[in-house]
Structure 1
């Protein structure tokens, strides 16, 4: 408001401004906690998506390099962080809501596969976290014990759908697995009598890798306390004085020295031997054209982006899932002829790189021998270091804050 004062000598103007000083309202304690929680969730989500994420080893498939109840961090930056393909999801939850169950995400928005630049690519013998390739369809009641496709081969699709609740999942919401990459794109891979060969040369042997051995004794078992003191799992009793142990090379040497032991030999499937049980078939689950088993497998060539394959009725089982499921083509097979996206052809060119993943515990690992190739869009990150580990006797102090590469040596 302006006020003017006049006198006979001069005119003086005085201006008075009325300012309302508003005190900023102080946030309530509840509001402060809410703001802090939102900030923490956003920050944790960004870190989890683009930098590092914590995982737990739930099974013995990587023993003895990684042990059950090893807690480790996985680097997303090693291979480049993957942009979420299913962006509408509850933060910090993978695919299932805690307590209530049900999906923790919406499939109403789906983005194409994209990956930001990283420090490098997946290398041979890296320990890698990835989405389980065969996890696009799950039988919810038994998803932790057996995959959907194994159930269908064993019991038939109609019976499985009648017995279980069936759910489908997008790529980035499939279950997470951790294995060692033994083959990279373009590699020729074969398993001969339990030994992995890459490009016709024996693959790297890791000192803690385990497999099964038949141990024959004089009829007496090795005392339980001796096995416990040396952290050797109790064996399966096959017959009088015959046991099956899961051992690494150092444990094999120890068992051979026991006075009651007469012989120790690898427990292997013979070449060309296939199981009559469909649930035990290896990939590509075609025993007519591929008489392979867990110990004698291949040879195969791991698909590489841009490379081409000649398709035949004899080899289509190897590539059918890649063409139709992973790379999203419409594949039709008509009297031995192939039609892809409406075009007759007998040649296919791969759109992505693929990898071959296997567990270090070779006879206790559901890996690529059973479900095939791992597409590049399924790769999550590289196992980095163990930050916590505990076993039956408490915390394993010697494993804390040690790199995964070091623990493999």
Structure 2
């Protein structure tokens, strides 16, 4: 009996050390990474150089890994948003990100999206019954993908891998991507309480450690949230002057490296478009694969 207890305790210790230092298991909390990951999926994440006990030891030895564009990571954000998040890294420190007309650009170049990235589309049909039947044959569930039937088109979320199939379907005239700005369908969606894709984001330079900015009106607007929540610097505006930690200033130098994270399900994700770039020390692990 004592031998069994000893084996059990050793096994528990090995599991705890593994999960705290090397590999850990996480449950996906939302559909923001659909169709790569679905709510409730279990994933394995590498903690060797992100967030684990071992990562701290390796960092002191000068061995470290930094988040890279287009990779998926597990991370935390500020206390206003509880829990762990899983998103794709879109921009790294020093990059300039911009969203115009729903198109994401990094350093002036349009981002090449993976096949799992989802957008909303208008599928213009000439025969709805045939269109519905072909969607079923293609194993694209209308209800599951948020399909809404209008008089001349079907409004639905699709990932890039599904587009070639839909474009070839009989009964369909054309397919256009939906951008909420100045679109007649927006009011109908608002009534249904559906989220719509952010079509614009002014050019934003992702902060890096040592980056110095001018805290004029534009600088304050773009970076105040990041500085206040992640750099622990208190802003006070007094007599039209800006004070940080009690000192009057017109500049700020960042203490950390930041990353812009986005969900593949672009129209239904709370990500850096909402809570801003994420500091490097908030990363917990790198996504390996789904269980």
**What is the TM-score of this pair, normalised by structure 1?**
0.61
Q: Which has the higher contact order (CA 8 A, sep 6+)?
A: 2
Taking the aligned partners of 2:127 and 2:149, their CA distance within structure 1 comes to 12
Q: Distance in 1 between matches of 2:218 and 2:57?
A: 35
Contact 2:138 2:165 in 1 (8 A): no
Question: Of 209, 212, 220, which residue of structure 2 is paired with 1:316?
Answer: 220
The answer (yes or no) to whether the contact 2:147–2:157 under 8 Å persists in 1 is: no
Q: 1:54 aligns with which of 25, 47, 52?
A: 25
Partner of 1:130: 75
Distance 1:71 1:186 in 2: 33
CA distance in structure 1 between the aligned counterparts of 2:151 and 2:141, rounded to whole angstroms: 19
Gaps in structure 2 of 5+ consecutive residues? none
- Equivalent position SS for 1:329: coil
Q: Distance in 2 between matches of 1:356 and 1:251?
A: 26
CA contact under 8 A between 1:57 and 1:71: conserved in structure 2?
yes
Q: Quick one: distance in 1 between partners of 2:238 and 2:194? A: 29
2:148 to 226, 229, 237: 237
Q: Which has the larger radius of gyration?
A: 1
Match of 1:326 in 2: 230
Counterpart selection for 2:107 from 178, 181, 199? 199
Cα RMSD (Å): 3.0
Question: Superposed, which structure 2 residues align to 1:19-168 within 5 Å?
Answer: 29=1, 34-77=5-48, 79-83=49-53, 116-117=58-59, 118=63, 120-131=65-76, 133-134=77-78, 136-137=79-80
Aligned length: 278
C-alpha distance in 2 between matches for 1:250 and 1:40: 43
Residue 209 in structure 1 maps to residue 117 in structure 2: yes
Aligned position for 2:176: 265
Report the equivalent of 1:153.
none
Counterpart CA distance in 1 for 2:263 and 2:83 is 16
| Aligned equivalents of 2:96, 2:75: Cα separation in 1 | 22
Change (3 A) 1:333 1:36: farther
Q: TM (normalized to structure 2)?
A: 0.83
CA drift at 1:51: 0.6
Match of 1:356 in 2: 260
The reply on whether 1:247 has 2:151 as its aligned counterpart is no
Write out per-residue CA displacement over residues 138-172 of structure 1, whole angstroms, 9 at most, x where no aligned residue.
xxxxxxxxx6xxxxxxxxxxxxxxxxxxxxxxxxx
Q: 1:203 to 1:221 in 2, by over 3 A?
A: same
Q: Which runs of 5+ in 1 are unaligned?
A: 1-28, 85-112, 138-146, 148-173, 283-292, 389-409
Instruction: Indicate the SS of the match to 2:164.
Output: helix
- In the alignment, the residues of structure 2 paired with residue 190 and residue 65 of structure 1 have an alpha-carbon distance, to the nearest angstrom, of 24
